[in-house]
Amino acid sequence: MCEAKQPTPNWGRIMTTATATLSQLLTEAGSQWAPLARGEDTWEDSRNDAMADLLERYETCPEALLNFETSDWVNLDEPYTSDLIKRYERNTPDIKTLFDCWCDAIGATSTLEALEGQTIEDPEDMMAAMVNVAMTYAAQELIRELWPDR
């Protein structure tokens, strides 16, 4: 699940974001998330409700994902801690999957190591931080698949 397939280069064939939806761009890029973006439930590893929500939010404006190069989920999409906690409670396995992928990507061996530097005073702070990191990582993964030369 964490291993992103290298998309087959389609230089010159990928649609511009001005005329394409996120699902079209992901399909053209050969993304592992394309079936989920198209609403297909065909691949077990792509059944991630947290990622599905991200795909739905950016379906009509995929270029807005580029904001995740300089910001994070909490600043762009869900600024309230209560919403982050609700997302964690609704999608715990999916958030943990994305969070674990992020931990693998940065070489963290524990949740505490991965969240080092964040203010965590209680379990709810940890849930909110995990959601922020997981959703930001998911958006950045989509950026890497859609715009590999950035």
Q: What is the pLDDT along the chain (150 residues), one digit of tens a residue?
A: 444 433 334 334 444 445 799 999 999 999 989 988 888 866 565 689 999 999 999 999 999 999 999 999 999 999 999 999 999 999 999 999 999 999 999 999 999 999 999 999 999 999 999 999 999 999 999 999 999 988
- The pLDDT value recorded for residue 8 is 38
- The pLDDT value recorded for residue 47 is 80
Contacts of 23 (CB under 8 A, 6+ apart): 34, 37, 38, 55, 59
Q: 96-123 burial string, b = 16+ CB within 10 Å, else e?
A: bbbbbbbbeeeebeebeebbeeeebeee
**Contact (CB, 8 A) for 27 and 145:** no
- The pLDDT value recorded for residue 44 is 61
Domain boundaries, the chain: 22-146
At 60, list the tokens: 């009509």
> Environment class of residue 28 by beta-carbon count within 10 Å: exposed (0-12), middle (13-18) or buried (19+)?
middle
- The pLDDT value recorded for residue 59 is 96
- The pLDDT value recorded for residue 150 is 81
- The pLDDT value recorded for residue 40 is 82
